[in-house]
Amino acid sequence: MKNNILTTTSIDAKQQARIGVYICHCGLNIAQTVDCPQVAEKASGLDNVVVSKDITYACSEPGQQEIKDDILEHGLNRIVVASCSPRLHEPTFRQMLQSVGLNPYLLEMANLREQCSWVHMHEPAAATQKAIDLVKMAVSRAQLLGPLYEETLPLTKRTLIIGAGVAGIQAALDLADNGYDVVLVEKQPSIGGMMAQLDKTFPTMDCSI
Protein backbone atom coordinates (compact mmCIF):
# COMPACT_ATOMS: atom_id res chain seq x y z
CA MET A 1 0.00 0.00 0.00
CA LYS A 2 1.27 3.40 -0.82
CA ASN A 3 -0.08 6.86 -1.23
CA ASN A 4 -0.34 8.01 -4.76
CA ILE A 5 -1.51 11.50 -3.99
CA LEU A 6 1.24 14.02 -3.64
CA THR A 7 1.28 15.62 -0.26
CA THR A 8 4.42 17.61 -0.04
CA THR A 9 3.58 18.58 3.49
CA SER A 10 4.68 22.16 3.22
CA ILE A 11 1.23 22.86 4.60
CA ASP A 12 0.15 20.64 7.42
CA ALA A 13 -3.51 19.83 7.49
CA LYS A 14 -3.34 18.97 11.17
CA GLN A 15 -2.51 22.51 12.06
CA GLN A 16 -5.35 24.77 13.09
CA ALA A 17 -7.58 25.36 10.10
CA ARG A 18 -6.67 28.37 8.01
CA ILE A 19 -9.53 28.73 5.62
CA GLY A 20 -9.72 30.57 2.33
CA VAL A 21 -13.24 31.34 1.03
CA TYR A 22 -13.87 32.26 -2.60
CA ILE A 23 -17.28 33.45 -3.75
CA CYS A 24 -17.44 33.02 -7.49
CA HIS A 25 -19.53 35.38 -9.61
CA CYS A 26 -19.56 32.94 -12.52
CA GLY A 27 -19.80 36.01 -14.68
CA LEU A 28 -23.38 37.08 -14.04
CA ASN A 29 -24.70 33.58 -13.48
CA ILE A 30 -24.39 33.96 -9.74
CA ALA A 31 -23.62 37.67 -9.31
CA GLN A 32 -26.82 38.79 -11.04
CA THR A 33 -28.92 37.30 -8.25
CA VAL A 34 -26.60 36.85 -5.29
CA ASP A 35 -24.76 39.77 -3.74
CA CYS A 36 -21.34 38.14 -3.88
CA PRO A 37 -19.34 40.88 -2.10
CA GLN A 38 -21.81 40.74 0.79
CA VAL A 39 -21.49 36.95 1.04
CA ALA A 40 -17.68 37.26 1.05
CA GLU A 41 -17.90 39.96 3.69
CA LYS A 42 -20.09 37.77 5.95
CA ALA A 43 -17.79 34.79 5.48
CA SER A 44 -14.75 36.78 6.48
CA GLY A 45 -16.13 36.94 10.01
CA LEU A 46 -16.43 33.17 10.44
CA ASP A 47 -14.06 31.14 12.61
CA ASN A 48 -10.65 30.40 11.12
CA VAL A 49 -11.37 32.22 7.88
CA VAL A 50 -8.13 33.93 6.89
CA VAL A 51 -9.03 35.07 3.40
CA SER A 52 -12.49 35.70 2.00
CA LYS A 53 -13.10 37.30 -1.36
CA ASP A 54 -15.37 37.33 -4.32
CA ILE A 55 -13.88 36.35 -7.63
CA THR A 56 -15.17 36.66 -11.20
CA TYR A 57 -14.45 33.14 -12.42
CA ALA A 58 -12.91 30.81 -9.84
CA CYS A 59 -12.43 28.00 -12.36
CA SER A 60 -10.56 30.14 -14.90
CA GLU A 61 -6.79 30.07 -15.10
CA PRO A 62 -6.35 33.52 -13.45
CA GLY A 63 -8.99 32.61 -10.85
CA GLN A 64 -7.19 29.43 -9.89
CA GLN A 65 -3.86 31.24 -9.86
CA GLU A 66 -5.22 33.79 -7.43
CA ILE A 67 -6.38 31.06 -5.06
CA LYS A 68 -3.08 29.19 -5.36
CA ASP A 69 -1.13 32.38 -4.63
CA ASP A 70 -3.27 32.95 -1.53
CA ILE A 71 -2.72 29.39 -0.33
CA LEU A 72 1.02 29.85 -0.49
CA GLU A 73 1.08 33.42 0.79
CA HIS A 74 -1.30 32.96 3.72
CA GLY A 75 -0.55 29.32 4.45
CA LEU A 76 -4.16 28.32 3.84
CA ASN A 77 -4.94 24.69 4.58
CA ARG A 78 -8.69 24.46 3.83
CA ILE A 79 -10.36 25.93 0.78
CA VAL A 80 -14.04 26.73 0.30
CA VAL A 81 -15.11 27.52 -3.23
CA ALA A 82 -18.67 28.79 -3.49
CA SER A 83 -19.54 28.52 -7.15
CA CYS A 84 -21.29 25.93 -9.31
CA SER A 85 -22.19 22.35 -8.39
CA PRO A 86 -19.37 20.19 -7.06
CA ARG A 87 -20.59 17.63 -9.54
CA LEU A 88 -19.13 19.92 -12.19
CA HIS A 89 -15.92 21.46 -10.88
CA GLU A 90 -14.92 19.51 -7.78
CA PRO A 91 -12.25 17.62 -9.77
CA THR A 92 -10.94 20.96 -11.13
CA PHE A 93 -10.47 22.49 -7.70
CA ARG A 94 -9.15 19.28 -6.17
CA GLN A 95 -6.43 19.30 -8.79
CA MET A 96 -5.75 22.94 -8.03
CA LEU A 97 -5.16 22.10 -4.36
CA GLN A 98 -2.94 19.19 -5.29
CA SER A 99 -0.81 21.37 -7.55
CA VAL A 100 0.24 23.50 -4.59
CA GLY A 101 0.81 20.56 -2.28
CA LEU A 102 -2.49 20.48 -0.45
CA ASN A 103 -4.37 17.23 -0.07
CA PRO A 104 -7.31 17.40 -2.54
CA TYR A 105 -9.81 16.37 0.10
CA LEU A 106 -9.26 19.63 2.00
CA LEU A 107 -11.66 21.30 -0.43
CA GLU A 108 -15.30 22.05 0.20
CA MET A 109 -17.71 23.58 -2.28
CA ALA A 110 -20.93 25.52 -1.79
CA ASN A 111 -23.38 25.27 -4.64
CA LEU A 112 -24.41 28.88 -5.33
CA ARG A 113 -25.35 28.48 -8.97
CA GLU A 114 -27.45 25.35 -9.70
CA GLN A 115 -28.97 25.32 -6.23
CA CYS A 116 -29.23 29.03 -5.50
CA SER A 117 -28.92 31.81 -8.09
CA TRP A 118 -30.50 29.87 -10.93
CA VAL A 119 -33.48 28.67 -8.91
CA HIS A 120 -34.26 31.86 -7.00
CA MET A 121 -33.75 34.37 -9.82
CA HIS A 122 -36.60 36.61 -8.72
CA GLU A 123 -35.72 36.73 -5.03
CA PRO A 124 -32.23 38.27 -4.80
CA ALA A 125 -32.47 39.00 -1.08
CA ALA A 126 -33.59 35.48 -0.18
CA ALA A 127 -31.00 34.03 -2.55
CA THR A 128 -28.24 36.06 -0.93
CA GLN A 129 -29.40 34.94 2.51
CA LYS A 130 -29.38 31.33 1.35
CA ALA A 131 -25.92 31.81 -0.19
CA ILE A 132 -24.62 33.10 3.14
CA ASP A 133 -26.03 30.01 4.86
CA LEU A 134 -24.57 27.66 2.27
CA VAL A 135 -21.15 29.26 2.68
CA LYS A 136 -21.44 29.12 6.47
CA MET A 137 -22.28 25.43 6.22
CA ALA A 138 -19.35 24.82 3.90
CA VAL A 139 -16.95 26.66 6.20
CA SER A 140 -18.19 24.75 9.23
CA ARG A 141 -17.62 21.50 7.42
CA ALA A 142 -14.23 22.63 6.13
CA GLN A 143 -13.06 23.13 9.74
CA LEU A 144 -13.18 19.36 10.17
CA LEU A 145 -11.96 18.17 6.80
CA GLY A 146 -8.96 15.92 6.90
CA PRO A 147 -6.59 14.66 4.25
CA LEU A 148 -7.51 11.38 2.58
CA TYR A 149 -5.26 9.07 0.66
CA GLU A 150 -6.02 6.68 -2.11
CA GLU A 151 -4.65 3.23 -1.55
CA THR A 152 -3.24 1.20 -4.33
CA LEU A 153 -3.61 -2.54 -4.24
CA PRO A 154 -2.17 -5.23 -6.46
CA LEU A 155 -4.46 -6.48 -9.21
CA THR A 156 -4.66 -9.74 -11.10
CA LYS A 157 -4.42 -9.03 -14.82
CA ARG A 158 -6.82 -11.75 -15.78
CA THR A 159 -10.48 -11.76 -16.75
CA LEU A 160 -13.19 -14.30 -16.15
CA ILE A 161 -15.79 -14.45 -18.89
CA ILE A 162 -18.98 -16.29 -18.04
CA GLY A 163 -20.60 -17.60 -21.20
CA ALA A 164 -18.97 -18.38 -24.53
CA GLY A 165 -21.59 -17.27 -27.01
CA VAL A 166 -20.83 -14.61 -29.57
CA ALA A 167 -20.40 -11.92 -26.88
CA GLY A 168 -18.18 -14.03 -24.65
CA ILE A 169 -16.06 -15.16 -27.60
CA GLN A 170 -15.57 -11.62 -28.88
CA ALA A 171 -14.67 -10.29 -25.43
CA ALA A 172 -12.25 -13.19 -24.88
CA LEU A 173 -10.46 -12.60 -28.17
CA ASP A 174 -10.25 -8.83 -27.67
CA LEU A 175 -8.73 -9.26 -24.23
CA ALA A 176 -6.40 -12.09 -25.23
CA ASP A 177 -5.19 -10.24 -28.32
CA ASN A 178 -4.38 -7.28 -26.09
CA GLY A 179 -2.18 -9.50 -23.96
CA TYR A 180 -4.55 -10.27 -21.11
CA ASP A 181 -5.17 -13.78 -19.85
CA VAL A 182 -8.74 -14.97 -20.05
CA VAL A 183 -10.63 -17.72 -18.26
CA LEU A 184 -13.63 -18.56 -20.41
CA VAL A 185 -16.32 -20.62 -18.73
CA GLU A 186 -19.09 -22.29 -20.73
CA LYS A 187 -21.84 -24.52 -19.40
CA GLN A 188 -22.32 -26.46 -22.64
CA PRO A 189 -19.85 -28.97 -24.09
CA SER A 190 -18.95 -26.52 -26.88
CA ILE A 191 -18.58 -22.78 -27.20
CA GLY A 192 -20.73 -20.91 -29.72
CA GLY A 193 -23.94 -20.41 -27.79
CA MET A 194 -27.14 -19.47 -29.55
CA MET A 195 -25.20 -17.94 -32.43
CA ALA A 196 -23.90 -21.34 -33.55
CA GLN A 197 -27.45 -22.54 -34.08
CA LEU A 198 -28.34 -19.75 -36.47
CA ASP A 199 -28.12 -20.13 -40.19
CA LYS A 200 -27.44 -16.92 -42.08
CA THR A 201 -27.48 -13.73 -40.04
CA PHE A 202 -28.67 -10.22 -40.85
CA PRO A 203 -27.70 -7.66 -42.04
CA THR A 204 -24.87 -9.28 -44.00
CA MET A 205 -26.71 -12.55 -44.71
CA ASP A 206 -23.59 -14.61 -44.21
CA CYS A 207 -23.27 -17.68 -42.06
CA SER A 208 -22.95 -17.36 -38.33
CA ILE A 209 -20.13 -19.73 -37.47
Partner 1 sequence: MTDVGRHPRITLHTLSEVVGIKGYVGNFDVRIVKKARYVDEKECTACGECAKVCPVVRPDEFNVGLSSRKAIYSPFPQAVPSAYVINIKECLGHNPSVCSKCIEACDKGCINFDMSDEEFVERVGSIIVATGLEAYDPTELDEYGYTRFENVVTSLEFERLVNAGGPSKGELIRLTDRKHPKSIGFIQCVGSRSARKGSEYCSNICCMNTVKSTLLIKEHYPETDIKVFYIDIRAFGKGFEELYKRSRRLGVHYLRGLPGKIEELPDKSLRVAVENASTGKLEFHDLDMLVLAVGIKPAKSTQRLQEMLGLQLTSDGFFLEAHPKLQPVDAATRGIFYAGCAESPKDIKDSVTQASAASARAIRLMHKGEISSEPITSEVIADQCKSCGKCVDVCPYNAISVDTKKKTPAVINTAACAGCGNCAAECPFGAITMNHFTDDQIINQIDAMLSEKPSEKVLAFACNWCSYAGADYAGVSRLQYPASVRLIRTMCSARVDESFIWHGFMKGAPVVLVSGCHIGDCHYINANHWTEKRVNKVRKKMEKLGLRPERLQLEWISAAEGIRFAEVMRRMEKLRREVSKEEIEKTISILQNRRK
Stretch 60-119 residues interacting with partner 1 (CB under 8 A) = 85-87, 105, 111, 113-116, 118-119
Q: Are 185 and 162 within 8 A, CB to CB?
A: yes
Q: With contacts defined by CB under 8 A, name the span among 13-21, 60-68, 91-99, 140-148 that binds partner 1.
A: 140-148
Q: What is the DSSP letter of 19?
A: E
Q: With contacts defined by CB under 8 A, name the span among 51-59, 64-72, 94-102, 167-175 that binds partner 1.
A: 167-175
Q: Is 162 in the site for partner 1 (CB under 8 A)?
A: yes
Length of the chain: 209
Alpha carbons 193 and 184: distance in angstroms, whole number: 13
Q: Is 38 in the site for partner 1 (CB under 8 A)?
A: no
φ, ψ (nearest 5 deg) of residue 137: -65, -40
Q: Is 130 in the site for partner 1 (CB under 8 A)?
A: yes
Q: With contacts defined by CB under 8 A, name the span among 11-19, 52-60, 93-101, 142-150 that binds partner 1.
A: 142-150
End-to-end CA, the chain: 47
Q: Is 154 in the site for partner 1 (CB under 8 A)?
A: yes
In the complex with partner 1, the residue whose CB is nearer, 71 or 134, is 134
Task: Give the one residue of 10, 60, 65, 152 binding partner 1; rule: CB under 8 A.
Answer: 152
Q: Which of residues 168-197 bind partner 1 (CB under 8 A)?
A: 168-176, 178-197
Q: Are 67 and 92 within 8 A, CB to CB?
A: no
Number of residues that bind partner 1 (CB under 8 A): 88
* E strand segments, 40-134: 49-55, 78-83, 107-111
In the complex with partner 1, the residue whose CB is nearer, 66 or 88, is 88
In the complex with partner 1, the residue whose CB is nearer, 72 or 183, is 183
Alpha carbons 86 and 94: distance in angstroms, whole number: 10
Alpha carbons 160 and 154: distance in angstroms, whole number: 17
In the complex with partner 1, the residue whose CB is nearer, 72 or 119, is 119
Please, what is the minimum distance in Å from the beta carbon of residue 66 to partner 1? 26
Q: Is 198 in the site for partner 1 (CB under 8 A)?
A: yes
Query: For the residues of 70-92, what is the DSSP string, one character each?
Result: HHHHHT--EEEEEES-HHHHHHH
φ, ψ (nearest 5 deg) of residue 29: -55, -40
